[in-house]
């Protein structure tokens, strides 16, 4: 990887049902963000270790293929998921 490149590691834990979202669809997702060494950065899931109590938790609305502020690679991963799917 070159300077500024990121590496997104994904493992499918449970396959969802139904169609994948189309570009422009709004989905709700929960996520835990960690560095490759496992160091915790942020989570939308309540009760995850090291989550500050003053940070709001709960699903986040995300427009597939539209929101450029999301983590590089996350849009492609969410676009390929189905409702109820779980990735690690």
What is the mean pLDDT of the segment spanning 13-40?
84
Whether the Cβ atoms of residue 59 and residue 10 lie closer than 8 Å to each other: no
Q: Tell me if residue 78 falls in helix, strand or coil.
A: helix
What is the structure's pLDDT at 34? 78
Domain assignment present for residue 70? The answer is: yes
Domain assignment present for residue 4? The answer is: no
Domain assignment present for residue 3? The answer is: no
In tens, the pLDDT along 35-84 reads 778 787 777 877 766 666 777 778 888 888 877 777 667 777 788 888 88
Confidence of residue 4 (pLDDT cuts 50, 70, 90): low
- Total domains, the chain: 1
pTM of the model as a whole: 0.64
Whether the Cβ atoms of residue 27 and residue 66 lie closer than 8 Å to each other: no
Domain assignment present for residue 48? The answer is: yes
Interatomic CA distance for residues 4 and 17, integer angstroms: 35
What is the structure's pLDDT at 6? 62
Whether the Cβ atoms of residue 88 and residue 10 lie closer than 8 Å to each other: yes
């Amino acid at each position: 990887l070159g300077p500024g490149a990121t590496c997104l590691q994904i493992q499918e834990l449970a396959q969802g049902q139904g169609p994948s979202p189309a570009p422009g669809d709004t989905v709700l997702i929960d996520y835990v963000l960690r560095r490759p060494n496992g160091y915790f950065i942020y989570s939308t899931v309540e009760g995850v270790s090291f989550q500050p109590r003053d940070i709001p938790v709960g699903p986040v609305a995300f427009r597939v293929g539209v929101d450029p502020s999301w983590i590089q690679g996350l849009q492609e991963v969410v676009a390929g998921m189905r409702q109820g799917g779980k990735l690690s």
